[in-house]
């Protein structure tokens, strides 16, 4: 969950209106009343997002985060819903037809000892991926348009207003059938990670009330989970080889394409165990050791000195006979994982999860690392002043920079 800023400026009229309507939704005594307020909230958010007034939305969210998390969640859900969806009305055969659009992300988990590509997708691959997306995932009558970019995190929209703009641009392309789209601008130069996520972004449109995805069709309602699982398997089988062409030298796993924010959060969570596996493979290959020769040191980190909340765990790796941290990964926490764990969003995670630190240990053990030290102290998140890399706890609890041995062959030495 995001943290709010320290200051609490007086809210503008637009921000206060968002707060008040969100409070009314929480206090609604019936579904009819709740939906009436939700339509009001959607209308206000549409105006602000269309005119790029992200600051008004952020101010309301910051105040609610500090004052009322239930209302904060309502407003955040509304902002995300409005920014990742749209409607369009057209005249067809003398009658009005209204289309609904949804921005969908199709995440790709990738891991490698080299580099993970991103950027413009060749036209022939866009065409092929679009055909597989339509054939295996979409409901009858739904249309789609895929952005010609394999997005890195740095290329994704940074604000809800930017997401809103991209949603409308892709939705218009889906409606016009065959409209050309420009690739996204290159992201800033960033450190290459051993494991990272890439995203295909797609707008899916259908007449209002009609299903968008195959498993939402009426004939599949009883067994929608099986239909959805089969669709994912077909997407992986057919799209996987084409995605592999875009990511040479990488192992990949395609996740279920879903609504933009849910898909991104699910990918953020699922890349974490991949990062553990990639780090162990990298260290055993580069250092010429077995997993049992490694030790892992896990410590919790947060933002503030007098705050017990853990925002992320950092895992430092050492050789068993040495205190020197040679490599490290970051395991960020989402939702309420820092308190008691919360089920992942999405269909496949109905069981109560392990506590985050226990899940990390489980993945380390599965990779053959039996020597795991947990540091009880909670640290303020610190980074190297020179290169910006996160600092990790060594076996004595001292925060240090992860450094590969001097005689290590040159290669990828960045952190996730």
- Taking CA 135 as the corner, what is the angle to CA 131 and CA 141, rounded to the nearest 5 degrees? 105
Give backbone dihedrals phi and psi of 248, rounded to 5 degrees, phi first.
-60, 140
Chain centre to alpha carbon of residue 88: 27
- Taking CA 320 as the corner, what is the angle to CA 315 and CA 323, rounded to the nearest 5 degrees? 70
Domain locations in the chain? 13-83, 86-256, 269-400
CA atoms lying within 13 Å on the CB side of residue 129: 27
**Whole-prediction pTM:** 0.87
As a whole number, mean pLDDT of residues 340-353 equals 52
Q: Has residue 413 got a pLDDT over 90? A: no
Q: Are 325 and 314 in contact (CB under 8 A)?
A: no
Q: Are 292 and 135 in contact (CB under 8 A)?
A: no
Q: Has residue 291 got a pLDDT over 50? A: yes
Confidence at residue 55, expressed as pLDDT on a 0 to 100 scale:
96
Given CA atoms 112, 114, 119, 121 in this order, what sign does their dihedral have? negative
As a whole number, mean pLDDT of residues 376-387 equals 88
pLDDT tens, residue by residue, 112-169: 988 899 999 999 999 999 999 999 999 999 999 999 999 999 899 999 999 999 999 9
For a pLDDT cut of 90, what percent of the chain falls above it? 75
Confidence at residue 334, expressed as pLDDT on a 0 to 100 scale:
87
177: its two tokens:
């059938």
Q: Name the band, by pLDDT with cuts 50, 70 and 90, for residue 407.
A: confident
In whole numbers, what is the pLDDT of the chain averaged over residues? 89
Where b means 16+ CB within 10 Å and e means fewer, 286-301 reads bbeeebebbbbbbbbb
What gap in Å lies between CA 156 and CA 188, rounded to an integer?
A: 11
Which of 124, 116, 86, 312 lies closest to 203 in space, CA to CA? 86
What gap in Å lies between CA 342 and CA 351, rounded to an integer?
A: 10
Give backbone dihedrals phi and psi of 228, rounded to 5 degrees, phi first.
-65, -45
| Cβ count within 10 A of residue 12 | 14
What gap in Å lies between CA 172 and CA 166, rounded to an integer?
A: 10
Measured CA to CA in angstroms, residue 304 lies from 257, 310, 349, 350, 374 at distances of 36, 10, 31, 33, 21
Beta bridge partners of 198: 108
pLDDT tens, residue by residue, 225-242: 999 999 999 999 999 999
As a whole number, mean pLDDT of residues 320-344 equals 78
């Amino acid at each position: 969950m995001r943290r709010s800023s320290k200051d609490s400026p007086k809210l503008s009229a637009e921000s206060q209106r968002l707060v008040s309507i969100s409070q009314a939704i929480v206090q609604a005594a019936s579904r009819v009343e709740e939906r009436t307020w939700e339509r009001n909230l959607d209308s206000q958010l549409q105006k602000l997002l269309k005119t790029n007034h992200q600051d008004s939305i952020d101010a309301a969210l910051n105040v609610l985060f500090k004052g009322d998390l239930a209302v904060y969640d309502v407003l955040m859900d509304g902002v995300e819903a409005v920014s990742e969806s749209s409607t369009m009305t057209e005249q067809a055969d003398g009658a009005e037809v209204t289309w609904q659009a949804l921005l969908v992300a199709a995440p790709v988990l990738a891991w490698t000892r080299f580099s993970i590509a991103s950027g413009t997708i060749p036209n022939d691959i866009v065409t092929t991926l679009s055909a597989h997306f339509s054939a295996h995932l979409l409901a009858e009558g739904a249309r789609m348009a895929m952005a010609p970019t394999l997005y890195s995190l740095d290329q994704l929209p940074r604000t809800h207003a930017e997401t809103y703009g991209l949603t409308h641009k892709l939705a218009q392309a889906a409606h016009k059938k065959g409209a050309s789209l420009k690739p996204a601008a290159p992201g800033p130069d960033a450190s290459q990670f051993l494991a990272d996520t890439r995203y295909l972004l797609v707008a899916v449109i259908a007449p209002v009330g009609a299903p968008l995805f195959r498993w939402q069709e009426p004939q599949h309602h009883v067994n929608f989970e099986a239909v959805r699982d089969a669709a994912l398997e077909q997407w992986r089988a057919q799209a996987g080889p084409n995605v592999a062409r875009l990511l040479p030298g990488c192992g990949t796993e395609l996740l279920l394409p879903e609504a933009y924010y849910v898909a991104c959060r699910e990918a953020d969570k699922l890349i974490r165990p991949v990062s553990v596996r990639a780090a162990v493979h990298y260290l055993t290959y580069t250092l010429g050791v077995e997993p049992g020769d490694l030790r892992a040191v896990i410590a919790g980190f947060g933002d503030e000195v007098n705050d017990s909340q853990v925002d992320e765990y950092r895992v430092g790796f050492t050789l068993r006979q040495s205190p020197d941290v040679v490599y490290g990964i970051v395991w960020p926490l989402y939702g309420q994982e820092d308190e008691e764990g919360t089920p992942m969003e999405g269909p496949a995670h109905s069981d109560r999860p392990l506590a985050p630190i226990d899940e990390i240990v489980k993945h380390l053990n599965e990779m053959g690392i039996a020597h795991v030290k947990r540091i009880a102290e909670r640290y303020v998140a610190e980074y190297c002043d020179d290169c910006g890399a996160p600092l990790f706890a060594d076996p004595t609890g001292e925060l240090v920079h992860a450094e590969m041995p001097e005689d290590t062959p040159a290669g990828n030495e960045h952190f996730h």
